[in-house]
Amino acid sequence: MGETRRADGIPLILMYHSVSPYQCDPYRITVSPVRFEQQMRWLRRLGLTGVSVRRLLEARHLDSGRRLVGLTFDDGYADFAECALPVLARYGFTATLFVVAGRLGGDNAWDPDGPRKTLLTADQVLRMANAGIEIGSHGLRHVSLPSVTDLELAAETATSRDILRRISGQDVAGFCYPFGHADRRVIGTVQDVGYDYACTVESAAHAGRHALPRTYVGDADSPPRILAKGMRHWLTRSYRGPGAERLSDAAAIVLGKRSKRSGSG
């Protein structure tokens, strides 16, 4: 294989929310199905495989995760079942779905100015789990955790996991901080109650296994733009993990060729 690099550094994990046709999207949480398909096709073309965070971390532990990229979907939108899962299945990819355990079958009430988006029901979460998707916890109510009491924090972390374990039949190893908000107390609690890992957003002050930074992907992200983000991740975090060589090869190709079709939005 000629692998000379060690798989250290922080792995590349992409962050999605909703995949759906849309008209209005003030929080920029929606990627159109056409764009999503294009992004997945492009990962495949680079020789990369999208996987759950759990699988990514296991593979890296065994020193075998070089061609893997983590795919995560926050909030557990119902459109995942219809618009994302079939595409993932077509490419042989999996993903992690971070579900809001206390709002199953409800909507994204925490985004007051955005359009209502329906969340997966308990039955649908089970179906996603049975389809090979990792179920992780996104808390109980989707609140900013640094400002809640210790008692509430216990419910948001431990109780949400109990609910999702019961519903999905999975162990529920991962947690994802709502709004990416986390401080030392919150991260410590997530670790203490026994989560194996946790995800945050790009600017992670406490980066580590319980604050894994992720790369936001939006509808404006053409493959060359994701590439630029991947390169930035690679450079800023001494990235040596999955796809690093391919990313740099691809960067050379894109920068050299100057695709006429890039940058359309």
Residues that bind Zn ion (CB under 5 A): 74-75
Do 247 and 230 form a contact (C-beta atoms < 8 A)? Answer: yes
Q: How far is the CB of 108 from Zn ion (least distance, A)?
A: 8
Q: How far is the CB of 80 from Zn ion (least distance, A)?
A: 13
Q: Return the number of the residue (37 or 75) whose C-beta is nearest Zn ion.
A: 75
Q: Where are the alpha helices (DSSP H) in 62-168?
A: 79, 85-91, 122-130, 150-154, 160-168
Q: How far is the CB of 233 from Zn ion (least distance, A)?
A: 21
Q: Are strands 134-137 and 96-99 parallel, antiparallel or unpaired?
A: parallel
Q: How far is the CB of 72 from Zn ion (least distance, A)?
A: 11
In 3D, which of 253, 194, 203 has the Cα closest to residue 223? 253
Do 56 and 65 form a contact (C-beta atoms < 8 A)? Answer: yes
Q: How far is the CB of 121 from Zn ion (least distance, A)?
A: 18
The number of residues in the chain equals 265
Q: Return the number of the residue (175 or 239) whose C-beta is nearest Zn ion.
A: 175
Do 125 and 164 form a contact (C-beta atoms < 8 A)? Answer: yes
Q: Return the number of the residue (75 or 134) whose C-beta is nearest Zn ion.
A: 75
Q: Return the number of the residue (155 or 251) whose C-beta is nearest Zn ion.
A: 155
Q: Return the number of the residue (75 or 221) whose C-beta is nearest Zn ion.
A: 75
Beta bridge partners of 211: 208
Q: How far is the CB of 138 from Zn ion (least distance, A)?
A: 6
Q: Which residue has the tokens 């709004």?
A: 179
- Indicate the burial class of 52 (C-beta count within 10 angstroms; 0-12, 13-18, 19 or more): buried
Q: Return the number of the residue (177 or 239) whose C-beta is nearest Zn ion.
A: 177
Do 82 and 71 form a contact (C-beta atoms < 8 A)? Answer: no
Centre a 10 Å sphere on the Cβ of residue 179 and count the other Cβ atoms it contains: 14
Q: Which residue is nearest to Zn ion (CB)?
A: 74
